[in-house]
Structure 1
Amino acid sequence: MTELFRRDPDAVNIPPFETEDLRQNLSRFLDSPFEDPAGTHPFVGNYKWGVYAFFDYDGEPIYVGQTNERLRTRIRRHLTNQRTDAVAMSVLDPFEVFEIEVWPLPQFQDSNRTDLAARQHLDALERLITDRAVEGSQFKAILNEKDPPPGDLAVETPPSFRARIVSDRVFELRSHPDFRIARRSLILSRLAQVISERKVQGGLRRVLLTQAKRLQWLSARRYEALGGAASVAVEAEGEEV
């Protein structure tokens, strides 16, 4: 008998496999060295100011955000603590995040949150990354409930770091198209319920529409891959249905 079956399941004091796997891989991502312009290699998650983007299993951009409290703190709040509005409202599903890309702003590492120049630069970078994400999406939309802050400042894209946060084992579990369709349907229904129970702004309805398009695309792709119309059985004459 293996060690697993010798344990009392009620006494196991560790998270489920997928939860622990995400925490480990996310820590590995956030503790990755980043080549700073100053010549140092700090952990990428330790930068206070920066923009981040999440990508799904198809490489589709699904969410863009900014932070001035530390990339590590904000990204963890989305994916492991699940204490952001985006997750709580079923706008963002942590299970869909396959890769993360971050754009740190090392020049503002010592700036506080009231630094106007730093805030304007951060907002401008978020606008730039959001525009590129939307343009690069085949749906021409991402799952953000709100648009980035407006402004006239234009900035160049700084160096970034991108990597996957899903192990091969979790990828095998989650990448099956039927699992993804079921999971996306679940999140879509949760979001629809949130909307039905509250007075919401147009942003949530835009997310609902985008998720519906994403679900339709995934379902259509699966249907066609398995034969499409040719795979549909024909009712026999006189068959009761």
Structure 2
Amino acid sequence: MPDPIEPASRRDPDFINFPPFETEDLRANLTRFLDTPFEEAVEQTRRVGNYKWGVYAFFDYDGEPIYVGQTNEMLRTRIRRHLTNQRTDAVAMSVLDPFEVLEIEVWPLPRYQETSGKDADARKHLDALERLITQRAVDRSEFKAILNEKDPPPGSLVVEAPRSLRARIVSDRVYELRSHPDFRIARRALIISRLAQVISERKVQGGLRRVLLTQALRLQWLASRRYDALGGASSVEQEGDEDG
């Protein structure tokens, strides 16, 4: 993936207001994804981030689905609020860690582009689509769970998934930094500690505790995989007589 960002070595951070490399890289790649043309009808396209109604899902560095959401304000606005502005409850409470997101998939609903956000039928359709995508994510997860604090709104309407767009939002340079298993283990442990602190300081519902459990399982899985890959029990040193 080409890197359009000017190297920091050519800019003096003391005198130019620009964010750290990883933050700037994410913003650039996220904008590129959200500006991708999406064909909603024959010879009719729209930038995928400009769809008002839709469902989105985030995937981590193992391709694991980690979070599903919906919006009727605009896909661009909602996704940016999670990943760049970090102003959603999911991020603020350490339910979702933007550092874990490698890929995004979106399911726009072009038919409701001009529909009011209060339209009851459109909202039922959106809720049904979120239920479908959430169930798919859970079924395909190694842990049979994702990191959403709440379940999708209930309902009896059943819909089919529309066309979607999925792409990576991390450059090769950032991928090299963040994909190392020891970095991921450390980052996962950090997020778990933050979430546990949130839980300890508030009266929370079961959803946050479910997220904590899921994150703990994901951490154990990463640590176990790393331990086994490096030799497992055979890699553990034995004490010598002089150590006793």
TM-score (norm 1): 0.96
Residue 171 in 1 paired to residue 171 in 2?
A: no
Aligned Cα root-mean-square deviation (Å): 1.3
**Equivalent residue for 1:225, pick from 215, 226, 229:** 229
Read off the aligned partner of 2:228 and give its amino acid letter.
E
Structure 2 counterpart SS, 1:10: coil
* Structure 1 residues 156 and 4, CA gap change in structure 2 (3 angstroms): closer
The Cα offsets for residues 92-118 of structure 1, whole Å up to 9 and x where unpaired, read as: 000000000000000000100110110
Counting aligned pairs with the same residue, the percent is: 78
The Cα offsets for residues 76-98 of structure 1, whole Å up to 9 and x where unpaired, read as: 00000000000000000000000
Structure 2 counterpart SS, 1:162: strand
CA–CA distance in structure 1, aligned partners of residues 198 and 9 of structure 2: 40
CA–CA distance in structure 2, aligned partners of residues 18 and 5 of structure 1: 14
Q: What is residue 89 of structure 1 aligned with on the other side? A: 93
Structure 2 counterpart SS, 1:159: coil
CA–CA distance in structure 2, aligned partners of residues 45 and 147 of structure 1: 24
Structure 1 counterpart SS, 2:32: helix
CA–CA distance in structure 2, aligned partners of residues 42 and 149 of structure 1: 28
Residue 33 in 1 paired to residue 37 in 2?
A: yes
Moved over 3 A (4+): 3-9
Tell me how many residue pairs correspond in the alignment. 238
* Structure 1 residues 134 and 239, CA gap change in structure 2 (3 angstroms): same
Structure 1 residue 12 displacement after superposition: 3.2
Residue 135 in 1 paired to residue 161 in 2?
A: no
Structure 1 counterpart SS, 2:86: coil
Q: What is residue 198 of structure 2 aligned with on the other side? A: 194
The Cα offsets for residues 136-161 of structure 1, whole Å up to 9 and x where unpaired, read as: 00100000000000000000010000
Q: Structure 2 unaligned runs (5+)?
A: 1-6
Structure 1 residue 178 displacement after superposition: 0.3
Structure 1 residue 38 displacement after superposition: 5.0
Structure 1 residue 6 displacement after superposition: 7.9
Q: What is residue 209 of structure 1 aligned with on the other side? A: 213
TM-score (norm 2): 0.95
Structure 1 counterpart SS, 2:220: helix
* Structure 1 residues 235 and 161, CA gap change in structure 2 (3 angstroms): same
Residue 107 in 1 paired to residue 98 in 2?
A: no
Q: Structure 1 unaligned runs (5+)?
A: none
Are the aligned partners of 2:8 and 2:21 in contact in 1 as well (CA < 8 Å)?
no
